[in-house]
Amino acid sequence: MRVFAKSLLLLVLAFLFRSCAIQVPPTGGPRDIEGPKILSMEPSSSATGFNQERIEIEFDEYVKLNSIRDKFLASPPLKYDPIISVKGKRLVIEIKDTLIQNTTYLFNFGDAIVDIRENNPLTNFQYVFSTGESIDSLSIRGSIKDAFSREPMEEMTVGLYKQIDEDSIPYKYKPTFIARTDKYGEFNLQYLARGRYSLFALKDENSNYLFDRPDEQIAFLANQIDLQTNIDTIILEAFVENHESQYLKKQEEKGPYSRLIFNLPVDSLSYSLIEGSLKEELLLAKINPSKDTIDLWWREQDGKRWEIAYVADTLSDTIKLKVDSIRRPEDKSYLKAIMSSQLDFFSKLKLSFPYPIRAIDTSLISIYNKDSIKISFTATVLTNPLDVELAFDVEQASNYKVEILPNAFEDIYRTKSDSIQKKINSNQLSDFGNLSVVVETSDNSSKILQLLNSSDKLIREISLTDSIAKFNYLKSGSYSLRLIYDSNKDAIWTTGNYLEGLQAEKIVLFEEKITMRSNWDKEIKWVLID
């Protein structure tokens, strides 16, 4: 028994000794948040008389490349991209191009170099060298915004060109020096030599440094830069030129109705039927207010096809239209009116129909006020022939009853309406707010003041002929203001053109959001620095 107890004691002591001897690694610890550090560069950055084909950079930890094709930028641009690879803790750059003599080069890696473990970047790493005897040290800083939205333009290629006396520089030549805009739209052209330059920026969709696509956004400085000292005041506005030719964008057909939608506004239109008489078959034709859509209503046909020749401004073509009959429900009339139950006290009651209205019998229409007294009204077919307005004296915060007997409305296809009964409620002045904008400016050029809602959708616009603009009857909500300097006086915003030396028409946004409340008048003073 004593031997067994002694053996058990020795076994326990051995186990305890072994447990104390085991080394347990510590858990947790701070997370690595620092990027890799450079230990050496061969040749060193800022080297002069550079004639090497290989650059090696050693780091204090293992690294990898993150989106190097998108983030690496060489200025001046190289004809052949360098081969950039990682070998353990070393970054190797193999130059495959013939370098220009007496030129300062900048290799900008952005944040493409990261450590392997945590993806911590080496931020804004640049490698600089000169094939000449010195490093050029001048710079040009600036920013680019979208000319219309005023938003910063990210990832635009900003090119600096040595003086060339021709207008087609960005079409034919790659920039002498380049930079890219950051998320704030800011750029920094560095390590530049003294001289005269042209400045042109491009949203380079095909990454060839040339302005060779009409849909690419551009920005340019009108005058050349005589660079003798650092410049940090360049502000550019980006736009897409308008090279669009007029064409028929869409052709719609539904029964006896046809719609032609053009990509650009149409000022004049003529058409002719290849076979037959157009006058007998076409009942009605309308061009919408924006002059880019033409609506045609024909006599009903049984799937007949016509060839129509049309001329829309300078565009001429021949198209085929299929004209069919209307599919009428068997159990009820198809001619129904859409009418809202809510009516603004300052407006008129509108009814919308599926086909143009040709006749109204007002004796079959009655409108009663809240006291059940019949009131007088007038009925008018609007410019859009699908809409009819019933105009009467609308009282605030009141209710009305509209009774429409069968056959009150007749469309161009001689189909008449059914009976309609509707209760209408009107709002009141206290449901709205009124906004006055006092514009202080010394610039007397034509301007357009636009009111936008919280989704930046255009609500109303005013040609600014006075210093005070009024937007009445606004619903509660958030609004903003946009001012367009209408240089060519065509009542719309016009984009720019590089070869013509035209910038996009200037736009200014009111810096603050405007909050409107019900039963509230608000005045804003907008001081413009012209």
Architecture of domain 432-527: Sandwich (2.60)
pLDDT single digits (tens) 329-352: 765 667 889 999 999 999 999 999
Tell which CATH classification among 1.10.10, 2.60.120, 3.30.70, 2.60.40 matches the domain 248-323: 2.60.40
- pLDDT higher than threshold 80 for residue 195: yes
pLDDT tens column, 453-487: 999 999 999 999 888 999 999 999 999 999 999 99
pLDDT bracket for residue 395 (50, 70, 90): very high
Strands 125-130 and 83-87: unpaired
- Alpha-carbon Rg for the chain in angstroms: 36
Please say whether the beta carbons of 499 and 167 come within 8 A: yes
Q: How does DSSP assign 91-136, residue by residue?
A: EEEE--SPPPTT-EEEEEEET-EEETTT--B-TTEEEEEESSSS--
The residue ranking higher by pLDDT, 168 or 96, is 96
**Topology, domain 38-130:** Immunoglobulin-like (2.60.40)
- Domain layout of the chain by residue ranges: 38-130, 138-238, 248-323, 338-430, 432-527
| pLDDT band for position 278 (cuts 50, 70, 90) | low
Q: Using CA atoms, how far apart are residues 366 and 231, in angstroms rounded to an integer?
A: 74
| pLDDT interval class at 310 (50, 70, 90) | confident
Statement: the pTM of the whole predicted model exceeds 0.85: no
Burial (CB count within 10 angstroms: exposed 0-12, middle 13-18, buried 19+), residue 115? buried
Q: Do domains 138-238 and 248-323 have the same CATH topology?
A: yes
pLDDT of residue 466: 84
CATH number of 338-430: 2.60.40.1220
Reported as a pLDDT band with limits 50, 70 and 90, residue 90 is very high
In sequence order, which ranges of 404-513 are alpha helices (DSSP H)?
none
| Homologous superfamily, domain 138-238 | Immunoglobulins (2.60.40.10)
Element (H, E) at 7: helix 2-21
Residue 164 has pLDDT above 90, yes or no: no
Q: With a cut of 50, say whether residue 420 has pLDDT above it.
A: yes
